[in-house]
């Protein structure tokens, strides 16, 4: 089992080490994921219902209130 894990580990390790174009691509992926998750998600995209309400019951009540009071919309 340990042998298998070592084999798999070195397969990935050597693969990453020997990459040419891939190194730059991984850098792009890392920067992109950082921007998306550490900046966009944290600072600009809070989950509206999760941050405003404590439980699903409150969320249901809120959405039902939104759905059943349509007069201002159209």
Partner 1 sequence: MEILNAALVDWSRAQFALTAMFHWLFVPLTLGTSFIIAIMETIYVKTGKEIWKRITKFWMTLFAINFAIGVATGIILEFEFGTNWSNYSWFVGDIFGAPLAVEGIMAFFMESTFFAVMFFGWNKVSKKFHLISTWMVAIGSNLSALWILVANAWMQNPVGMKFNPVTARNEMVDFWEVLFSPTAINKFLHTVTSSYVLSAVFVLGVSAWFLLKKRNIALAKRSIVVSSTFGLIMIIVTIFNGDESAREVYRTQPMKFASLEGLYYGAQAAPLVTFGIFDIHKPTMENQNPKVFTNKFEVPKLLSLMATLKPNSYIPGINDFIKGNEQYGIVSYFDRIKMGKEAIGALKVYQKERGKNDSIANAALTTFKENYKYFGYGYYNDPYDLIPNVPLVFYSFHVMVGLGFWFLILFILGLVFVLKDKVQDKRWFLLTALWTIPLAWLASEAGWLVNEMGRQPWVIQDLMPTTTAISNINTTSVMITFFLFAVTFTVLFIAEVRIMLKQIKQLKDGGH
Residues engaged in binding partner 1 (CB under 8 A): 11-12, 14-16, 18-19, 21-22, 24-26, 28-29, 32-33, 35-36, 40-41, 44-50, 56, 59-60, 63-70, 72-74
Q: How far is the CB of 41 from partner 1 (least distance, A)?
A: 6
| Shortest separation between residue 11's beta carbon and partner 1, angstroms | 6
25 exposure class (CB count in 10 Å sphere: 0-12, 13-18, 19+): exposed
Question: Is the CB of 2 or the CB of 68 nearer to partner 1?
Answer: 68
Report the 10 Å Cβ neighbour count for 48.
10
Q: Which helix (H) or strand (E) holds 28?
A: helix 21-33
């Amino acid at each position: 089992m340990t042998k298998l894990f070592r084999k798999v580990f070195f397969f990935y390790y050597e693969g990453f080490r020997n990459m040419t174009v891939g190194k730059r691509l991984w850098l792009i992926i890392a920067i992109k994921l950082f921007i998306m998750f550490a900046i966009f998600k944290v600072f600009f995209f809070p989950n509206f219902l999760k941050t405003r309400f404590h439980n699903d019951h409150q969320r249901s009540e809120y959405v039902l209130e939104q759905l059943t009071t349509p007069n201002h919309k159209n």
